[in-house]
Amino acid sequence: MRVIVCEDYNELSAQAARLVASQLILNPSSVLGLATGSTPVGMYRHLVSMNRRGDIDFSDVTTFNLDEYYPISPGSPQSYRYFMNEQLFSKVNIDINNTFVPNGMTDDPEKECLDYEKNIEAHGGIDLQILGIGRNGHIGFNEPGANLNSATHLTELSESTVDANSRFFDSEDDVPRRAITMGIASILKSKKIILLASGASKSRVVSELLDEDINTSVPATLLKVHPDVVLICDKDAYSGTRLGVDIGGTNVKFAVVEGRKLIYKSSIRTEKSSADTLISSIADECNRLKKLYPIKTVGVGTPGIIRDGRVNAANLPFRSTPLASGLSKLVDMPVTVDNDANCAALGESEFGAGKKYQNIIMITLGTGIGGGIIFDGSIAHGKSSMGEIGHIIIEADGGRPCPCGQHGCWEQYASVSALIASAKEAVQSEPNSLLSKLAEEKGRLDGEAVFDAYEKGCKVAAKLLEKYTHYLAVGITSLINVFGPDAVILAGGITSRGNLLIPMLLPKIPSSDVAIEISTLENDAGSLGAALL
C-alpha cells in the first residue's frame, strides 16, 4: 500500500482528484467505483471544477457506487443515490444512465445484489475504486467480523456505524439498519484502489490499518492483499495516537494526542532522587496510558542540554543521562527527546497561537528566557544550544554577569527575575512609591505587584515597565532581524498581563509586519509539542 500524507483536507481532495483525472485522461471510458460519506466530498468538488474547465470528460465514464442503505428511496436526501446526484452526477457531463447505485427500494435484495455484481462484470470490472473508511475500519458497508470474502450482498450495520452515520439523519432511529454493499471480494477485483481518510477521528483506524496484519476486525486491512492501493490521508488522520511528556521541576505532564486533538492529560510529581527513579516513574505512567490508548510513540521535553542523546539538566538528576534509550526500553516504544522550550514552541505552533503561521519564535519569560524557533512546522536545531535565545548578548560592554559565563545576556535584562531585581532596587530608592506600599501589603515584591502598581498610576512602576519592555523589544527585534518569523509568541506567567505588556512593547518593535501574540496553551504547550516530536 502506498501512503500519501497531505497537509490538510483540501490538499487530500486535490490529490485524489488529480489521480482520478489522470485515470480519465488515460482512459476516457473508465469504469469508476465511487464512495459516499463526507470524505470524498472535496474530491468531487475538484472533479466538478476540472470538468467545467474542460480538463476532464465524463461523457464515456461509467460509475458503480459501493453501497446504498436498505430500504431507502432514491429521492430521500439521505440516500446515496441522492448524494451522488447532488455531489457529482448533476454537475458533470456524465450520462446518468451510466451511473449505478444499488437499488435501495428493491423487493428482491438477493437478485439486486447478483445483478449488480453481474453488471460490474459486464462493464469489464472497475478500473479505479474510490473508498472511504469507517471509524471501525469498514469499507463500503463491510463491517468488522462480517463475511469478508463476499460479493455484493445485503448486510446489517454495526451499532458504531449507525451511531457515526446518524449525523446525516434526524435521529439515530431513522438510520436504516441494513444496506446493500459491494463485498470485499468485489472491491478487491478493481484494478486500482484509492482509499481516503481525513481528520483525527480516523487516526486510530489508520494506524490500525498500517500497523496490523490482515484481520477481519479491521476490514480495510484486507486491502493489503491488493497490489495497487494508494492511501491518501491528511496529517490529522495519519499521525496516530502519540504521547507527549513534559518534565518540569515540580511535575511531569502527560498528553495523549490523537491526530491534532488532545484526548487525555495527566501529571505526576517529579521524582528527583535519581535519574533512574525519575525515568522509571515516567515509564510507569506511560505504560498505564499505553493500556488505555493505542499509543505508538512517545516524545519527551526536558529542561537542559541534549547532546548525542544524553541529557544534562541543572535542576533535575540528569547528568549525561541517556533519557530516550532508557525510557524506550521500559515502555517498549520509540522515544524522542528534545529541549522543553523547543517542545513548547512546537506545541504552540501546532495547537495554539502559532497555528495560523508558518514560522514562529516562541519566547518564554520566567526566571530566565527560554525559546524555540519553529520553521516550516519543525524545530530549528543546532548542535545543542540552538534556541537558547535568553543568552543572546544585548549589552556588549560591562553587561550584567550571567550564570552561563557570559556578560550582558538578554535574560539578565528581560526575564521576569530581571524585572523583579530592578523593582527591588527601585523600591529601595523610592520607599514612598505606590509600588513599595503594594509590595509591603503583599509581603513580597513580584512581577504581579509591578503591574498592579502600574495600573494604579504608579510612576516608579511605569518607569520600570518602560525600561523592561525596551529590553524585551531589543531582543525581539534582533531575533526578528535574524530569523524573519511570521510571528513571535510570548509565553510565561507574566503574559497574563498581556493587556498591559503588549501596548507598551509594540511601539518599540520596528517590524510592524511580524505579529506579536500571547501563548494560548500555557501549561499544556510543552506536553502537546512533545507528542509531535
Residues binding ligand GLP (CB under 6 A): 35-39, 66-67, 132-134, 140-141, 161, 165
Q: How far is the CB of 297 from ligand GLP (least distance, A)?
A: 25
Give 393-396's long-range contacts (Cβ < 8 A, gap of 24+). Answer: 394/471, 394/474, 394/475, 394/478
* Marked catalytic residue, from 67, 117, 127, 338: 67
Nearest Cα neighbor of 531 from 204, 126, 243 is: 243
Q: Tell me the residue ranges of DSSP E strands in 47-112.
A: 62-65, 67-70, 99-100
Shortest distance (Å) from residue 262 CB to ligand GLP: 21
Contacts of 394 (CB under 8 A, 6+ apart): 408, 409, 410, 413, 471, 474, 475, 478
Looking at residue 343, what DSSP letter applies? H
Min dist. Cβ of residue 37 to ligand GLP (A): 3
Tell me whether residue 68 is one of the annotated catalytic residues.
Answer: no
Which residue among the candidates 117, 127, 143, 236 is catalytic per the annotation?
Answer: 143
Number of neighbours of residue 421 by Cβ within 10 angstroms: 15
Distance CA 411, CA 413 (A): 5
Q: In what order do the strands lie in the sheet with 67-70?
A: 67-70, 178-181, 153-156
Q: Count other C-beta atoms under 10 Å from residue 452's C-beta.
A: 20
Cell of 356: 495560523
When the beta carbons of 14 and 305 are compared against ligand GLP, the nearer one is 14
Q: Which of 136, 142, 165, 359 is catalytic?
A: 136
- Give the C-alpha separation, 192 to 107, whole Å: 33
Which residues have a Cβ under 8 Å from the Cβ of 74 and sit 6 or more positions away?
Answer: 81, 82, 101, 103, 104, 105
Determine which helix (DSSP H) or strand (DSSP E) holds 310, and give its type and residue range. Answer: strand 310-312
Q: How many helices and strands, by DSSP H and E, does the chain display?
A: 18, 22
In single-letter form, the type of residue at position 101 comes to V
Instruction: Mention every residue, 6+ apart, whose C-beta is less than 8 A from residue 194.
Output: 16, 19, 20, 128, 129, 130, 131, 229, 230, 232
Provide the minimum distance between the beta carbon of 385 and ligand GLP in the complex, in angstroms, as a whole number: 46
DSSP string, 229-294: EEEEEEHHHHS-EEEEEEE-SSEEEEEEEETTEEEEEEEEE---S-HHHHHHHHHHHHHHHHHHS-
Which residue's CB is nearer to ligand GLP, number 210 or number 333?
210
Annotation marks residue 143 as catalytic: yes
In the bound state with ligand GLP, the residue whose beta carbon lies nearer, of 9 and 413, is: 9
Nearest residue (CB) to ligand GLP, 132 versus 371: 132
H or E segment and range at residue 224: none
Number of C-beta neighbours around residue 507 at 10 A? 10
> In the complex, what is the shortest distance from the CB of residue 165 to ligand GLP, in angstroms, rounded to a whole number?
5
Q: Which of 46, 138, 153, 391 is catalytic?
A: 138
Strand partners, 299: 244, 336
Q: Three-state SS string across 23-61, please? A: HHHHCCCCEEEECCCCCCHHHHHHHHHHHHCCCCCCCCC
Residue 309: all three cell numbers together: 542523546
Spatial distance between the Cα atoms of 41 and 87, rounded to a whole number of angstroms:
7
The C-alpha cell at 40 is: 470524498
**Shortest Cβ distance from residue 17 to ligand GLP (Å)?**
16
Catalytic residue status for 67: yes
Q: Catalytic site residues?
A: 67, 136, 138, 143
